[in-house]
Structure 1
């Protein structure tokens, strides 16, 4: 909750398809009970989605501001936003108010297992890295659960720039300060080489103009996101076990149309 007394809605601005917009335009029907999930495949990759994540957290705290605090009678509460680290830990996002630590979820590098973890956390707004579509094997019930619940899907890039981006989220330098702290915390955690860390910092510098930082996103279909969870098309042993013990027609392989 360390951002609650520092950041406000005025620290963020949005554009959708070239027009000024609001967070509710980006996430139609957005509520404080929404659960955001960001799938990360590379070290500190979620920094490319940090602006929108912090804008949503700031919105959440505005709703609950009167109840927040460490004093008796007050509540310690954080938004239910999750980072899904594919294969291994890719950073520490506590500076972005992804807290407690169990919301940093390490999942197997397998599309079915990633989507199962997303379903288990009840994610309603999903962000995936802008990866090439990769064929993936799923249980049909896993796809059905996600399709029933997830309302918004966006593609992001660790660089902050995506192909054909139709959403822009701009934030102030105080917001960027938390993102830089997140990168610093993550460097030691994932043991980034100094050259790679410097490259990540340069990527943030490239987003800066007129004391504002601008990230791009792209709206995509959920069916497209299913093929962008990972670049690994091979189902894990656990997924193969699920398939072997399920109905003969329970599994489906998704390929790009």
Structure 2
């Protein structure tokens, strides 16, 4: 749970409708039961929403600071892989492994059911053409999951894997290395694995983690390390390094949508 101390709201800039604003405006009427869901449909396409993922993490801890120490918890963030397995996200603290969910493509009712099962209140999906919301009624019941989602969802966002979304009304940016570090850790696991195999006892522990927690995490990383083609990882790494000067400013934009519009988007997956 390194992100509990790594990420701070002061290092993130937020604009909504071209006006500077605060984290609480991004996730209005926040509460400690918020759960944040992100959909992914291509290898590490989620990097286009990296700042929103990390903003959600900050919000999760700031809304109830005891989660950092007195009541230690991993953030309630969930990655839904739709139509494949698109890369291990545990370096962003999508952990334990149950927080990455794998759903078949072209089964939007199953996807909605998975989202509702996790109690998601803030949902972010990649840009797709909308589908027919009637497809969401193909589950065990025609209205149950739709009603549950309407009851749960408080914020809905659309992102683009390239980082810039059409018709965006939200812009997040940061030049602080803490908001870039988890992408680097995700794309290049070799230094961490080499350190572990050379001297497991030297691996630092975050929060209340025990030594066997590190062992189990390494096991998961090894199982999933070839999930994304190495050429795709090299391309993503090169894109990340393509910057002007030494100071990285990451900027991403998002479009807020209504719950009804989100249903149409979910029907397109």
TM-score by length of 1: 0.79
1:18 Cα offset (Å): 0.4
* Structure 2 counterpart of 1:224: 261
1:108-187 correspondence runs (5 A): 108-109=104-105, 110-135=107-132, 137-139=135-137, 140-171=143-174, 172-185=176-189
Deviation string, structure 1 residues 179-233 (Cα, Å, up to 9, x no partner): 2212335893413141x2233234445688853211111111222222323655x
* Structure 2 counterpart of 1:92: 88
> Is 1:201 paired with 2:237?
yes
User: Comparing 117-126 with 80-89, which one deviates more in the overlay?
Assistant: 80-89
What is the aligned residue count?
A: 227
Deviation string, structure 1 residues 71-90 (Cα, Å, up to 9, x no partner): xxx54311211011112221
Q: List alignment gaps of at least 5 residues for structure 2.
A: 138-142, 190-220
Would you tell me which structure has more helix in proportion to its own residues? Answer: 2
Would you tell me which structure has more strand in proportion to its own residues? Answer: 1
Contact 2:158 2:257 in 1 (8 A): yes
Q: Cα distance 1:101–1:84, how it changes in 2: closer, same or farther (>3 A)?
A: same
CA distance in 1, matches of 2:58, 2:131: 34
Contact 1:32 1:79 in 2 (8 A): no
Deviation string, structure 1 residues 99-156 (Cα, Å, up to 9, x no partner): 1110101112211000000001110000010111133512222222211210110001
Any idea what SS the aligned residue of 2:114 has? Answer: helix
Any idea what SS the aligned residue of 2:171 has? Answer: strand
CA distance in 2, matches of 1:214, 1:157: 12
* Structure 2 counterpart of 1:26: 26
User: Comparing 182-191 with 153-162, which one deviates more in the overlay?
Assistant: 182-191
Q: Cα distance 1:221–1:65, how it changes in 2: closer, same or farther (>3 A)?
A: closer
Contact 1:52 1:169 in 2 (8 A): yes
CA distance in 1, matches of 2:188, 2:267: 25
Deviation string, structure 1 residues 21-45 (Cα, Å, up to 9, x no partner): 1111111112232100011111111
Deviation string, structure 1 residues 165-188 (Cα, Å, up to 9, x no partner): 111111222210112212335893
1:64 Cα offset (Å): 4.7
Q: Cα distance 1:31–1:207, how it changes in 2: closer, same or farther (>3 A)?
A: farther
- Calculate the aligned-residue CA RMSD, in Å: 2.4
